[in-house]
Each structure stands twice: as C-alpha cells, then as structure tokens.
Amino acid sequence: MCGIFAYINHLVPRKRREVLEFIINGLKRMEYRGYDSAGLAVDSGVNQITIVKLPGKVKVLESAVMANEKLYDDFVYDVHVGIGHTRWATHGAPSAVNSHPHRSDVGNEFVVVHNGIITNYKYLKQYLTEHGFQFESETDTETIPKLIKHVYDRHPELSFRELVEQAIPQIEGAFALAIKSSHFPGECVATRRGSPLLVGIKSATHLTTDYIPVIYSADIKQSPPAQKKRNGLVNNSGTSLVNGDGDGRDSLTEFKPLNDRAEVEYFFASDASAIIEHTNRVLYLEDDDVAYVTCEGGESLRAWLELLFLRDGGLHERTRD
C-alpha cells in the first residue's frame, strides 16, 4: 500500500536538510503499509524542483539524499513545499523511473505523488501522446502531471487549484494526490477519491475558524465518467477541458491565521502516524475534497489552507478532529 507525505512551512524557517528529514521520517512512519520504492521532491533553486527516487527501502532513499551535498545542505527556506512517497508497484516493476514522484516534463514543472489506480490511464496516455507528451515510465500516475501541464499550457491564467480542478474530472479510478509546481512556489494542492488522505495544521496562533462548515449542494449529483471527445477531453459537465469552462465548485472553507505574518506548517499524509509527532490538529479529507495551500504576497504575507468540498445533500458542519 502506497504512502504520501507532504510538508509545507510558511514563515517557519527550515534548512533544506530539515525539510528532507521531515519527509523521510514521515515516510518511515508509514513503512508498515508495505512498499517497494521511495522518492521525494523539494526545491533546489529559483523555480527549480529536484526529484530523488529509488527502488528499495526508505533507508536507501535517505542515504542517497544525505550523500547529495548540493541538496542536503543548510540553505534556509521561509516558505517551501516538499512531497514524498512510498510505492507499492501496480503498473510497472519496481525501478527508479517507475517510482514516485512523477513529473510533467524534463523541467519538473508539475510533480505528483499518487496512491490508488487510474483506470482510464491508457486513454489519457494516448490522448496526451497525441498532443506531444513523451512518457518515461510504465505507470498510470504519470498521466496526472502531464494532464495538469496540458491544461496549464492552454490556460496559464488559471490558479494552481483551478488547474487541478480542471484535470481531476478527467481521471477515473481511485486516487489520493499531492501536487507541487515550479510555476507556483510555496503552494500545494491535494485531493482524494477512494484513497485516504488527511491534512494536519500546526500553528502557534489562532485560525480564523476552528471548525469546518461543509455546505452540501443538493444540485450536484454523482458525475459520470469523463467522456471522450475527438478534438480533446471534456469535463463531466460536458464542457471542453481545453476551453477552461466550468467551475464545478460547491463549498469553500479557508483556514487563515489571524496574524498576517503568522508562522504555520501544513502536513498531508496517507496516515495520521506520519504527522502525529508534529500536530494533533487533523482533518480527514473526504472523496472529491480539494485542499489548497497558498499564500498572499505583498506587504502582508499570509498563508492559508482552502478546503473545497464537492458533495451532495444538505447543510452539514464537520468539526475538526
């Protein structure tokens, strides 16, 4: 069973070696789930992402990271996103290239870790290949970052969250995802459908809300699988993906520190055991939730976590665990 771990620090200065150690220790705490390879992705320069992934135990990954003096160093980030993964092979044998994170292109513009199985990956792979994308692994996961980049190339004006919202309806199967991008430094998007994923928040200051009101839309019904269209993909509302039509949002909740320059850390994980040493403020995401960590720039710098809920039913309030 695969394991996801992501760590985002905002105005909490962390050396790059500390970020790497957080990710590696988070992966170690999920080793009991079973896996055959491990990998991670962190920033390595301005708008640059470095991926390290190998078959074998997390200890093998740890040794490779610690041996990389250009990566395992004391460079300090005030804001940073790092993601990690342990893989249990389903599509493709255990190998470095089949391990996660997977990337959109050689420039690592979009990087994804994924739990689950994408059942329509063959169609997505064919579609993306026809649009100029080259695949390097045997996995179903690689279609995801390439699909997001496909949307980005056509709609660079969209936010990171909006790009993911446009791509996710095209994916069939079960998944939990954590995504980072060189185009959106300091931001992370996570979502799930059928695979577990939780978010933890660590902050010394109060948040704008201590519970999560979830408004269920009676008008939104279970969407059918993504349809095929000769000239491109269409989303579940029947509008064209490449046109960027359709919002698809139901309810949005934001966690904002009251202090504009508040120190806050966010964690995404497949299992609470991976983050319990850091925080006990945990929310378990439900199917089709989208969690988006972003920050405001300018004179004030504020990080917040947006939680987007896509549900059926009536009004409901879900308390934070």
- The span from the CA of 294 to the CA of 158, in Å, is 14
Query: Any residues with CB less than 8 A from the CB of 18 and at least 6 apart, and which?
Result: none
Residue 96: exposed, middle, or buried by beta-carbon count in 10 A (0-12, 13-18, 19+)? middle
Which residues are registered as beta bridge partners of 234? Answer: 240
- Catalytic residue chosen out of the listed positions 1, 2, 83, 120: 2
Torsion angle, alpha carbons of 7, 12, 13, 14, to 10: -30
Query: Any residues with CB less than 8 A from the CB of 252 and at least 6 apart, and which?
Result: 306, 307, 308, 309
- The span from the CA of 27 to the CA of 40, in Å, is 10
8 A C-beta contact, residue 297 and residue 187: no
Structure tokens at 314: 């009536």
Residue 224: exposed, middle, or buried by beta-carbon count in 10 A (0-12, 13-18, 19+)? exposed
8 A C-beta contact, residue 29 and residue 271: yes
Which residues are registered as beta bridge partners of 175? Answer: 116, 193
**3-state class (DSSP) for residue 260:** coil
Q: Give the residue among 5, 12, 6 at the shortest CA–CA distance from 257.
A: 12
188 is catalytic: no
So which residues are the catalytic ones?
2
